[in-house]
Amino acid sequence: MHAGRRLDSSPDTNFSLSRAVKELERTESLVFDDKGMKWKKYVTCSL
Amino acid sequence: MEKVCDVLVVGAGPAGSSAARAAARFRARTVFIDKKEEIGVPVQCAETIGKYLLPLLPFKIPKDQLVWKIKGMTFWAEGIKITRQGRFWAGYAIDRKNFDKWLASLAVRAGAELQTSAELVDLEVDDKYKVKRAYVRTPHGVISIRPKVVIAADGVESSVLRLLGFKINKKENLGEVLGFEMRNLNLEKPNYDHLFLGDFAPGGYAYIFPKSKHAANVGVATLFPSKSLEEYYEEFLEIPEVKRQLDGGVVVEEKSGKVPARNLVDRWVYGNVLLAGDAANQNIKPFVEGILPSVICGDIAGRVAAAVVKGVGLIDTYPKRVKMKLGRLLKRSNAVMSVNDSLFRQGAKGALLSLCLLAEVVPLREIIKLGEEEYTSVKRYIEDLSVRWGSK
How many whole angstroms separate alpha carbon B151 and alpha carbon B134? 12
Cβ contact B51:B94 at 8 Å: no
| Bridge partner residues of B209 (DSSP) | B217
Cβ contact B342:B316 at 8 Å: no
Q: Beta strand pairing status for B141-152 and B273-275?
A: parallel
pLDDT at residue A47 is higher than 80? no
Average the pLDDT over B305-318 and give the result.
97
Tens digits of per-residue pLDDT, B103-156?
999 999 999 999 999 999 999 999 999 999 999 999 999 999 999 999 999 999
Torsion angle (degrees, nearest 10) of CA B376, B380, B382, B383: 130
How many whole angstroms separate alpha carbon A46 and alpha carbon A38? 18
Sort out which chain B residues have CB atoms less than 8 A from A26's CB and list them: 335
Instruction: Choose between B319 and A39: higher pLDDT.
Output: B319
B139 close contact with A: CB closer than 8 A: no
Assess whether the previous peptide bond of B286 is cis (omega < 30° from 0): yes
Q: Residue B111 has what pLDDT?
A: 98
Q: Residue A28 has what pLDDT?
A: 79
Share of chain B above pLDDT 90, in %: 82
How many whole angstroms separate alpha carbon B45 and alpha carbon B43? 6
Report phi then psi at B270, rounded to 5.
-135, 115
| Angle of helix B347-359 versus helix B375-389 axis, rounded to 10 | 30
pLDDT at residue A10 is higher than 90? no
DSSP string, B80-136: EEEEEESTTT-EEEE-HHHHHHHHHHHHHHTTPEEESS-EEEEEEE-TTS-EEEEEE
Grade residue B84 by pLDDT with cuts at 50, 70 and 90: very high
Report phi then psi at A4, rounded to 5.
-65, 155
Q: Residue A39 has what pLDDT?
A: 60
Interface-testing mutation among A13, A15, A16, A21, with chain B (most B C-beta atoms within 10 A): A21
Burial B107-128 (b: 16+ CB within 10 A, else e): bbebbbebebebbbeebebeee
Point out the residue among B335, B346, B364 whose CB comes nearest to the CB of A8: B346
CA atoms within 13 A on the CB side of B196: 24
B253 close contact with A: CB closer than 8 A: no
Q: Which helix (H) or strand (E) holds B293?
A: helix B291-309
How many whole angstroms separate alpha carbon B84 and alpha carbon B360? 9
- pTM value is 0.92
Please tell me the distance in Å from B350's CA to the nearest CA on chain A: 9
Tens digits of per-residue pLDDT, B316-371?
999 999 998 898 889 889 899 889 888 888 889 999 999 999 998 888 888 989 98
Cβ contact B50:B88 at 8 Å: yes
Sort out which chain B residues have CB atoms less than 8 A from A25's CB and list them: 364-365
For residue B299, CA distances in Å to B56, B118, B190, B302 come to: 11, 22, 33, 5
pLDDT at residue B25 is higher than 90? yes
Tens digits of per-residue pLDDT, B167-213?
988 888 899 999 999 999 999 999 999 999 999 999 899 999 999 99
| Bridge partner residues of B92 (DSSP) | B49, B69
Point out the residue among A14, A25, A39 whose CB comes nearest to the CB of B364: A25
Q: Residue A2 has what pLDDT?
A: 33
* Residue among A24, A4, A45 nearest B343 (CA): A24
Cβ contact B11:B274 at 8 Å: no
Q: Where are the domains of chain B?
A: 2-42+96-170+261-333, 347-388
Tell me the average pLDDT of chain B.
Answer: 94
Q: Residue A38 has what pLDDT?
A: 59
B373 close contact with A: CB closer than 8 A: yes
Cα dihedral sign, A34-A37-A41-A42: positive
User: Across chain A, which distance is largest between two alpha carbons, in Å?
Assistant: 51
Q: Domain B2-42+96-170+261-333 sits in which CATH superfamily? A: FAD/NAD(P)-binding domain (3.50.50.60)
Q: Which amino acid makes up residue B217?
A: N
